[in-house]
Structure 1
Amino acid sequence: MISLYVIGAFAAVVILSFLMAPRRASVEGFFEGQLAGRAPGLWTLVLSQVTTWIFARSLMNSAILGYYYGAPGTLAYAAYYLSFLTGGYIIGELRARDATSVQDWLGARFGAAGMGTYNVVIALRLLSEVFANLLVVGLVFSAVMPDAPWSGTAAIVVVAVLGLGYSAWGGLSAALRTDVVQMVVFLAVFGVAFVYLVASPGFSLAAIVTSEGASGTRQGWVLLAVALLQVFSYPAHDPVMMDRGFIADRKTTRASFLHAFWLSALCILAFGVFGIHAANLGAAYEGQLLNTWAGMFPTWVYVALLVSLLVSALSTLDSALSSAARLSVEELRLAPRTLGGGRVAMLVFMVAGGALTLWGNATLFDAVAVSGTASMFLTPVMVAVFGLGWSVPLWSYLVSFAAAILGAAAYFLRGAEWMAALLPDAPKYEQLFVICVVVLVVGFGAVTLGRVAGRAGG
């Protein structure tokens, strides 16, 4: 019965998304997000930013980290949403320099090497977005249909086809229009579930704030430190956020980033409370918390949580695909700047991301940790250029890039015996913290030496 409720509610959202997608597609709307020939308004931009950043993986990460590490765990994940503030700052600096994208700015400073290295990182980021959100779809349907082992895979295929369908029709303009609808639905459905939780007899705000989770708070505080180290560069490697920074005027864009910060952070913190509450009640961890919640809440609350996850997954998929089309066509020039070229790019990314769900890795935070570490090569460069007004030589940029990629690879391969021998003998999040510190030290060292050498040579 639960599966029928979930399928019915999600089908209604999908149908509504198709109805909201533009009837006529244009090249400008597909790649630039113009709605009826105009740039999107403030709240269209805000709701689109929020719904693409509180995606299904993030909601689950917040709840899972809250379950294990209490309030510090959820706070650590919410800290990544400071990216709206740092991202707004980065967009402002780029536009002040008349850059039309991060690639445009990097290309002007570092040539093909600058654009190429960045494009590799964001291509991997987009693949991880498609993969992780489809994975959550599979987890949801596997949880509500445990007697049908094929349900998770079938749901992934169906959602991939449906998401690709309306995304490929209108591109970025379709993503913007459907994001608004999907965000309103998410807020309504999740809001009802959250009110029930807060009003329930066993809920205590003091217990939530002071909770130590199922495993203690230490790793939560470590993750908070990691987030603060990564948050300056994190938005710059997210093409979904960066693309939305160049489609409206500067005043509207600046305001949209500020509003998106507080709204998304509240949503993430609120969803994390469901994980913290489960740990406080001593509930056993089952299936990414989905089966845990099934035993904790009435059917309608459980269905509301699952539909919230599915809606957020769908909204992120269309935005990731529109950014993938822009990357492939406008930056990499792998296809002509036509509707057909953009749609082929979307298809390739959806197929590749869907194929990754067969890989078997269900550790949702790993994708965030790996891509966040890889993005850190931009931190020393942007601090030097934007904050200090320095000129960064190409070799310094490449050293910083190599350090970040090696750091991301080290965390990803930490389970291998040879890599374990190189890393500190500590829990994985403490290893991640050490890796991030080393990456930043090498990057800032390279940038500083480049500055010194430049002045000496000049």
Structure 2
Amino acid sequence: MDFTLPLIVATVALFSVLLSSSAKDSNSFFKGVSATGRPPGLITLTLSQVTTWIFARSLMNAAILGYYYGIWGTLAYAAYYLSFLTGGKIIDHLRFNRGYDSVQAFLLDRFGQVGSTCYNFVVGLRLISEVFANLLVIGILFGVAGSQAYTLAVIGLALVTLTYSMIGGLHASLRTDLLQMLLFIAVLLVLVLSAIGSGHLTLAALNFKPFDITSPGPILLIVALLQIWSYPMHDPVMMDRGFLADRDTTRRSFLHAAWISMLCILLFGGLGVMAGAHGSSGENMHQVLSRLLGELPMLLFSAALVISAMSTLDSTLASASRLVVVNMGMLPASLHNGRMIMALFMLLGLVLLFTGNQDLFSAVAVSGTASLYLAPVVFFSLWGGREQIPLWSYLGAFLLAVAGAALYFTESAGHSQWLGELHKYTKLLYISITVLAIGCLLFWVGDALSSRRRTPLASTV
């Protein structure tokens, strides 16, 4: 069975390359339209949304959180997928109510070049972290970090994914997402049926960690419910797919993506919960699942992670090229420039992988905390229609969120103990509440001061 997983990877990669018809123009490469100029339909857009958010890191995180913290850990991670509902509402206001063609255009109009630059900084870091995290999962599946098998697997998948991504851009990503999502659903169903058939996936097993509001699982659930208001806006892959189809298709794709992705995360995370309920001292999750399910289901477990990693990587690269070339306008919108940016982001992800932190959830938590500066933007500037929020309010919220993200990173990695001996998720909760509350306060004060300055002028007219 040693060569079975590489064979599965090679087969999926081959079909992905065959599906990736070469982009003929920038509309196909950057905007995802077909050769005849048609935008993606509901099924394609929905499944593309789902598969690009159910990436390998997410599946692994959902299972690991379930393993350590029971069903509440998996529920906490699934709660992040409520971002599809808040993200759909953000897109609807941004694009159809206010007429903007990107998040950058909105921020540029409200807060000038500084506002757009701050956003691009956060988004760029997220894209690089997505490349890093999904390649990391692939490496772990094939060997110990630093081993030859680990290195070859990472570089091999990186080259394959980069190749077919460069062929067709966003249009190729949409086509391959459809194939990869259908494969993933089939594999997930077989895995769940195997778990049920083994007799180990029971209600008692799912409840092996009872609810306790002070335990890490429920605390992380609260964190997720705080971060979903801003998390989707800083995710360029989700935002990009909100600008491809008509209003009705876009609305329905976000709605269906929410329940489908949450169901998939809960089912896959349930495997981790099952392993946690039956684990013995000294065993890790993979060892427990191998003991409970056997060799073939675990091969499918690994295959599901590989397929989801490929689907996310191609979408991440497509969003990176769109970010730099279209949204930031740093280079002319040519196929050559788009492909060059894809290669650059893949290289940066590889550099981070071989030199950086390898805690999978840290990337999610740090990214989600940094994104919290966008929550007051959504509440006040987008949904609230407040057009006179001063730049200092925006910059204050941004700097606070970045500082909060940096603090969580150092605390969770053990580099500092400024917040004491609390569990890292409790620290994350306190940081998130502080960043969100003070950010909203800065916007409220800024709006109030701007309103006061306008009132005397209005009364003299």
Same fold (TM over 0.5): yes
Q: Is the CA contact 2:94–2:382 (under 8 Å) kept in the aligned structure 1?
A: no
Segments of structure 1 that go 5 or more residues without pairing to the other structure are none
Equivalent residues in 2 for 1:156-167, closer than 5 Å: 156-167=154-165
Match of 1:188 in 2: 186
Question: Post-superposition shift, 1:424?
Answer: 4.1
Deviation for aligned residue 1:19: 1.0
The 5 Å alignment of 1:6-405 reads: 6-36=5-35, 37-95=37-95, 96-142=97-143, 149-208=147-206, 210-212=207-209, 218-284=215-281, 289-391=285-387, 392-405=389-402
**Amino acid across the alignment from 1:104:** A
**How far apart, in 1, do the equivalents of 2:282 and 2:182 lie?**
30
Offset of residue 403 of structure 1: 0.8
Counterpart of 1:62 in structure 2: which amino acid?
Answer: A
The TM-score normalised by the length of structure 2 is: 0.94
- Which amino acid letter does the alignment assign opposite residue 73 of structure 2? G
C-alpha separation between the residues in 1 aligned to 2:433 and 2:410? 18
Q: Using the alignment, how far apart are the partners of 1:267 and 1:418 within structure 2?
A: 35
Counterpart contact for 1:76–1:220, Cα < 8 Å: yes
Work out whether residues 26 and 170 of structure 1, in 8 Å CA contact, stay in contact via their aligned partners in 2. no
Asked whether the equivalents of residues 404 and 439 of structure 1 are also in contact (C-alpha less than 8 Å), the reply is yes
What amino acid maps onto 2:268 in structure 1?
Answer: F
Separation in structure 2 between the aligned mates of residue 424 and residue 401 of structure 1, nearest angstrom? 25
| Counterparts of 1:12 and 1:306, CA distance in 2 | 15
Find the counterpart in structure 1 of residue 458 from structure 2: none
Offset, 1:217: 7.7
How far apart, CA to CA, are the structure 1 residues paired with 2:270 and 2:117? 41
CA contact (8 A) 2:93 2:383 kept: no
1:453 equivalent among 443, 446, 449: 449
- Residue by residue, what CA displacement relative to the aligned partner does 1:155-197 show, whole Å, maximum 9, x if unpaired? 0000000000000111000100000000001111121111111
TM value normalised by structure 1 = 0.95
Shift of 1:328: 1.1
Distance 2:358 2:336 in 1: 33
Q: 2:412·2:424 contact (CA, 8 Å) conserved in 1?
A: no
Whether contact under 8 Å (1:284, 1:292) holds in the other structure is no
Cα distance in 2 between the residues matched to 1:331 and 1:311: 29
Distance across 1 between alignment mates of 2:256 and 2:433: 31
**1:20, distance to aligned residue in structure 2 (A):** 0.9
Cα deviation 1:313-355 (Å, max 9, x = unaligned): 0000000000000111112233221110000000000001011
**Aligned partner letter, 1:125:** R
Q: Give, as a single letter, the amino acid of the residue that structure 2 aligns with 1:380.
A: P
- Partners of 1:397 and 1:305 lie apart in 2 by 43
Distance 2:332 2:421 in 1: 50
Q: Give 1:442 shift.
A: 1.2
8 Å Cα contact 1:396/1:446 also seen in 2: yes
Q: Distance in 1 between matches of 2:270 and 2:27?
A: 41
CA contact (8 A) 2:23 2:169 kept: no
Q: Shift in Å at residue 11 of structure 1?
A: 1.1
SS state of the match for residue 70, structure 2?
helix
Amino acid of the structure 1 residue aligned with 2:409 = F
The 10-residue stretch of structure 1 (102-111 or 389-398) with the greater mean CA deviation from structure 2: 389-398
How far apart are 1:26 and its partner, in Å?
2.2
Q: CA deviation at 1:417?
A: 7.7
Q: How many residues align?
A: 450
| CA positional deviation for 1:211 | 2.1
User: Quick one: distance in 2 between partners of 1:194 and 1:360?
Assistant: 34
Report SS of the residue matched to 2:332: coil
Relative to structure 1, is the Cα distance of residues 186 and 393 closer, same or farther in structure 2, using a 3 angstrom cutoff? same
Structure 2 unaligned segments of length 5 or more: list them.
455-461
Task: Give per-residue Cα distances to partners, 1:231-283, cap 9 Å, x unaligned.
Answer: 11000000000000001001000000000001000000001111100111124
% identity of equivalent residues: 48
- RMSD between aligned alpha carbons? 1.8
Q: Distance in 2 between matches of 1:293 and 1:348?
A: 37
Distance 1:318-1:430 versus aligned 2 partners, 3 A rule:
same
